[in-house]
Amino acid sequence: MSTLWSESCISFVNFKKTPEQFFIAEHQIDCGNARAYLKENGIETVQYVQDKLPNLTELAEEIISLGNSFIVFYVNKDNYLLSKTLTRHIKESEEDINIVWFGPLKEELNIDSLVDAKTDAYISFEYETGIINLFKTDRTQWDSIDEVLTGTFQTANVCQAKACSSLDFIPSPYQTKLIPVDKAGAAGVMIGRGPDREAFFSIERISSDLEFLNGRNKKGQEVPLKLTARDLSRHPEYDGLLQMLESKAYQFAYEADVSLGCLTVRMLEQLVKSGIRRLNLAVADAAALGKIEECSGKMKELAVSGKVEFRFLFECGGLDEEAMLNNLKFILTEGITGIENTTISTGDKSDSPKGLPKRSCISGKGLRDYIAHYYGKNFKRKVLFHENPLINGFDSYMTGIYGQSNLNGFTKHVSVEKEELDVDQYEKLKEYMSINSAVYVNTPAASEGAPIYSEGSSIIRQENPVFDKNVQAAKQANYCLEHLLTIEDKNRHYELKIDDYYRAEPLRLEVKKYSEAKMNSDAPLDFIRIENESDLESFLEEVDYFISTGRFNKSYLIPSFLVDSCRWLDNCSLTKLPRFRLADDNQILPCLDCNKSVGSIDDMQFDVIQQTYVLTEEEQLKRDCDSCTAADYCSKCAMLPEFLSSERYCEIRKQRPYISYYINIVNLLKFLKRSTGTFRDIRINDVMVSSKYVSYYTGHVDHIGETEYFHQFVNLFIINGTPVFYMPLTGKVYKLTEHLAVIMELMFKGLSVDEIKGHLRDMYKLGDDQIIKDFNAAVELFANTGSLKRAVI
Q: Which residues of the shown chain bind ligand SF4 in the complex (CB under 6 A)?
A: 400, 564, 566-567, 572-574, 591, 623, 625, 628, 630-631, 634-639, 650, 653-654
Nearer to ligand SF4, 624 or 780 (CB): 624
- Judged by CB, which is closer to ligand SF4: 281, or 572? 572
Q: How far is the CB of 577 from ligand SF4 (least distance, A)?
A: 9
Nearer to ligand SF4, 274 or 660 (CB): 660
Task: Tell me the closest approach of the beta carbon of residue 674 to ligand SF4, in angstroms.
Answer: 23
Q: Are 430 and 88 in contact (CB under 8 A)?
A: no
190: closest CA among 180, 175, 205?
Answer: 205
Between 353 and 400, CB nearer to ligand SF4:
400
Phi-psi region of 165 (alpha: psi -120 to 50; beta: other; left: phi over 0): alpha
**Least distance from ligand SF4 to the Cβ atom of residue 575, Å:** 9
Q: How far is the CB of 182 from ligand SF4 (least distance, A)?
A: 36
Decide: 150 and 121 in contact? Cβ < 8 Å.
Answer: yes
Q: Is 667 left (phi over 0), alpha (psi -120 to 50) or beta?
A: alpha
Distance, CA of 189 to CA of 179 (rounded, Å): 11
CB contact burial 715-734 (16+ within 10 A = b; e otherwise): bbbbbeeebbbbbeeeeebb
The Cα 55–Cα 429 span in angstroms is 10
- The residue ranges of DSSP E strands in 105-222, in sequence order, are 121-123, 148-149, 189-190, 192-193, 199-200
For the bound state, the minimum distance from the C-beta of residue 618 to ligand SF4, rounded and expressed in Å, comes to 12
Do you find a cis peptide bond into 195, omega within 30 degrees of 0?
A: yes
To ligand SF4, the closest distance from the beta carbon of 580 in angstroms equals 10
Shortest separation between residue 434's beta carbon and ligand SF4, angstroms: 17
In whole angstroms, the minimum distance from the beta carbon of 689 to ligand SF4 comes to 24
Give 564 or 774: the residue with its C-beta nearer to ligand SF4. Answer: 564
Spell 304-330 as b/e; 16+ CB within 10 A means b.
eeeebbbbbbbbbeebebeebbbbbee
Nearer to ligand SF4, 289 or 566 (CB): 566
Nearest C-alpha neighbor of 300 from the set 291, 289, 308: 308
Specify the DSSP element, H or E, that contains 495: strand 493-498
Beta-bridge mates of residue 46? 11
Q: What is the DSSP letter of 524?
A: S
CB of 447 or CB of 635, closer to ligand SF4:
635
Burial of 429 (0-12, 13-18, 19+ CB in 10 A): buried
Q: How far is the CB of 437 from ligand SF4 (least distance, A)?
A: 17
Beta bridge partners of residue 527, listed in sequence order:
511, 561
The amino acid at 290: G
Which residues on neighbouring strands pair with residue 126, listed in sequence order? none
Output the smallest distance, CB 617 to ligand SF4, in A.
12
Q: Which is nearer to ligand SF4, 583 or 682 (CB)?
A: 583
Indicate the SS3 state at residue 649. helix
Strands 276-283 and 309-315: what pairing?
parallel
CB nearer ligand SF4, residue 650 or residue 792:
650
The residue among 27 and 579 lying less far from ligand SF4, judged by its C-beta, is 579
Shortest Cβ 655–ligand SF4 spacing (Å): 10
Q: Quick one: 260 or 638, whose CB is closer to ligand SF4?
A: 638
CB-CB contact of 477 with 427 (8 Å) = yes
At its nearest, how many Å lie between ligand SF4 and the CB of residue 651?
Answer: 8
Nearest to 737 by CA among 701, 781, 702, 699: 781
Contact 61, 126 (CB under 8 A): no
Q: Please, which residue, 105 or 592, has the CB nearer to ligand SF4?
A: 592
CB of 707 to ligand SF4, least distance (A): 25
396 versus 560: smaller Cβ distance to ligand SF4:
396
